[in-house]
Amino acid sequence: MKTTAFALFGTLIAGISAAQASQLQEADIRSMIIGRTIYLAAPMGGEFPLNYKPSGEVDGNGKAVGLGKFIQPTDSGRWWIQANKLCQQFKVWYDGSKMCFELTENGPNSVKWVRDNGDSGIARIGN
């Protein structure tokens, strides 16, 4: 009996966790991301800020994480939402390629992102 109860409880918790980890929809993206600074964890340490402005502009500054040693340290571009994914295109970074991200909530002030090429990571939501 106890084994059955624990199994049912485990299934219930797993179901709740799966429901909480659903993909953000357009309204969620607008309320959680737009107008805020999003901080991506940098591979070499630190955080890389991206500002998603209500005007449709996105800008980033990688000076604090030493990005200037490898590429242009700052860039700007545009963002939009398409099929419940946050999309962006910078002028220089990524050779100006368009990219879209599926976002899921990852706790308070945090999202998990999966880029359309399969890359993924965690981002902190700032002010």
What are the structural domain ranges in the chain? 23-125
Q: Which residue has the higher pLDDT, 2 or 93?
A: 93
Per-chain mean pLDDT for the chain? 81
CATH number for region 23-125:
2.40.128.640
What is the C-alpha separation between 126 and 47, in angstroms, rounded? Answer: 11
pLDDT confidence bin for 42, thresholds 50/70/90: confident
- Percent of the chain beyond pLDDT 70? 76
Overall average pLDDT of the 43-68 stretch: 80
User: According to the model, what pLDDT value does residue 50 have?
Assistant: 93
CA distances from 91 to 15, 71, 83 (A): 42, 13, 23
pLDDT in tens, 80-111: 999 999 999 999 988 999 999 999 999 999 99
User: According to the model, what pLDDT value does residue 102 have?
Assistant: 98
pTM of the predicted model as reported, rounded to 2 decimal places: 0.77
Instruction: Select from 70, 86, 89, 78 the least CA-distant residue to 32.
Output: 86
pLDDT in tens, 4-29: 333 333 433 334 344 457 999 999 99
Judged on CB neighbours under 10 Å (0-12, 13-18, 19+), 90 is: buried
User: In this structure, how many other beta carbons lie within 10 angstroms of the beta carbon of residue 31?
Assistant: 11
